[in-house]
Amino acid sequence: MTSISELGEFGLIDRLTADLPRHNDETVAGVGDDCAVIAPNDGGEMLTLVTSDMLMEGIHFDLVYTPLKHLGYKAAVVNFSDVYAMNGQPRQLLVNIAVGQRIAVEHLDELYAGIRLACERYGVDLVGGDTSSSVTGLALSLTCIGQVRKSEIAYRSGAKKGDLVCVSGNLGAAYMGLQLLEREKLVFDGKQNDETAAQPDFSGREYLLERCLKPEARRDIVEKLREAGIQPTAMIDISDGLSSEMLHLCKKSQCGCRIYEERLPLDYQTAAAAEEFNMNVSTCALNGGEDYELLFTVPLTDHEKVSQMDDIRVIGYITEADLGTCLITRGETEEIPLRAQGFEHS
């Protein structure tokens, strides 16, 4: 028997979904992007996008420090983010939920209040789902349906040599928020006697906690790009960390990249918290995960347009595949291969 950890998540998905047959002409794209893509069978212009994510208690969230309303909001938003990552618009949401004995109706009211708020803010209709029991913890599985014009869809696979690599917002903040919460949990559990940590004070750290507990999907970026007449050649949302997503994008696009460490967008609070935790802030930005920012490529000819846009940073460029996927360290002193899990800074 082979343990799942031997293969890893992506190796496992590759194995389970190898050589899938295609029975229907409407199935445009399946496994391997942020959403599955379905065409209308009458040749219409709008494609249907579908994405589904599972959130398990004890793996993806910890109810000790996650308010249920925030959990509901986040569960919805991370699905919307996958639709925006295809340059689409989320439209409908289905919510499957399995609950253990500890959960009361009022808890579910809270969870649904968060889901409803996210739907309201993003203009999405809650259209169904399934409610059942669980012998243990809370399990959520949300499915989002979206739409995108054929001419506007952005796959992971469209990046070309010379394209600029762009990222929205800033990176690593959600990860630092999680570190703060985990530290407080240890204090709360009495497992740590660190004097400073024993005085929980999140003031000045609200931004990091919000990025962790109540992230937003970057609808605004998708809208701004459209308004500016910019069609991303490839796009993906950052759920597992910039390095991991950049590797996905390059693999699908059969290209390489050069990413500049000094171009990584960082918030001041992220840098301050990283210092406090004695962590390398670039590592947090590259591998932190749960940022739900958009990582995308645009043709070099859009350089001027994209440089003028707020909250978008050009962090590197696309190369031929045989040049590899590299990070150029500060001061251009070194080229380090991007890796999905951490990197050793010199």
Closer to its own copies by Cβ: residue 68 or 309: 68
Place of tokens 């893509």: 37
> With respect to its own copies, which residue has the nearer C-beta, 1 or 344?
1
Q: Which of positions 36-55 make contact with its own copies (CB under 8 A)?
A: 36, 38, 40-42, 44-46, 48, 50-54
Say whether residue 141 binds its own copies (CB under 8 A): yes
CA angle 274, 264, 322 (to 5 degrees): 125
Q: Could you tell me the CA-to-CA distances from 42 to 150, 164, 189 in Å, in that order?
A: 13, 36, 59
Q: Using the rule CB under 8 A, give the single segment among 142-150, 190-198, 209-217, 243-251 that binds its own copies.
A: 142-150
Out of 75, 80, 126, 195, point to the residue binding its own copies (CB under 8 A). 126
3-state secondary structure of 346: coil
CB-based contact 233:153 (threshold 8 Å):
no
* Interface pick for its own copies out of 17, 301, 307, 341 (rule CB under 8 A): 17
Closest CA to 288 of 196, 176, 170: 176
Distances (CA, A) of 227 to 135, 158, 220, 223, 345: 49, 21, 10, 6, 39
Q: Which is nearer to its own copies, 71 or 318 (CB)?
A: 71
Which residue's CB is nearer to its own copies, number 38 or number 323? 38
Nearer CB in complex with its own copies: 120/182: 120
Task: Work out which of 75, 85, 97, 208 binds its own copies, going by CB under 8 A.
Answer: 97
As measured in angstroms, the least distance from the Cβ of 158 to its own copies is 19
Whichever of 52 and 66 has its CB closer to its own copies, that residue is 52
The whole-angstrom separation of Cα 200 and Cα 197 is 6
Q: Does 103 bind its own copies (CB under 8 A)?
A: yes
Which H or E element spans position 108? Answer: helix 105-122
Binding region for its own copies (CB under 8 A) out of 12-20, 168-176, 187-195, 198-206: 12-20
What's the CA gap between 161 and 154, in Å, rounded? 16
Contacts of 184 (CB under 8 A, 6+ apart): 65, 197, 200
Stretch 143-202 residues interacting with its own copies (CB under 8 A): 143, 145, 147
Check binding of 324 to its own copies (CB under 8 A): no
